[in-house]
Amino acid sequence: MFTSRTAFVLVTWLAVVGTAAAAPPGISVRESKVAATSEGEVVVDVTPDAAYAALADYGRWSAIFPSVASAQLRSGSGDTAVVEITSPKGKPYTLRFDNDRKRRIVRFSQRGGRVAGDTTLTFIAGPAAGQTTIHARLHAAVVGPASWFVGSARVRRKRQRALSENLVAIAAYLATPAGP
Domain boundaries, the chain: 4-66+99-174
DSSP code of residue 24: P
User: Is residue 123 within 8 Å of 144, Cβ to Cβ?
Assistant: no
pLDDT tier for residue 114 given thresholds of 50, 70 and 90? low
pTM across the whole model: 0.81
Percentage of residues of the chain with pLDDT beyond 90:
54
User: Partners of 95 in the beta sheet?
Assistant: 83
- The predicted-structure confidence for 88-110, as pLDDT tens digits, reads as follows 999 888 999 999 999 999 999 98
Is the pLDDT score of 57 beyond 60?
yes
User: Measured between alpha carbons, how far is 132 from 110 in angstroms, rounded to an integer?
Assistant: 26
Phi-psi category of residue 161: left, alpha or beta, with phi > 0 → left and psi -120 to 50 → alpha = alpha
- The predicted-structure confidence for 12-21, as pLDDT tens digits, reads as follows 433 333 333 4
- Single out the residue of 24, 48, 38 nearest to residue 172, CA to CA: 24
Is the pLDDT score of 7 beyond 60?
no
User: Span 161-166, mean pLDDT?
Assistant: 91
User: Measured between alpha carbons, how far is 81 from 158 in angstroms, rounded to an integer?
Assistant: 27
Is the pLDDT score of 78 beyond 90?
no
Positive or negative: CA dihedral 49, 180, 14, 91:
positive
pLDDT tier for residue 178 given thresholds of 50, 70 and 90? confident
Q: What is the per-residue pLDDT for 105?
A: 97
More reliable by pLDDT, 20 or 148: 148
What CATH number belongs to 4-66+99-174?
A: 3.30.530.20
- Where is average pLDDT lowest: 20-29, 104-113, 140-149? 140-149
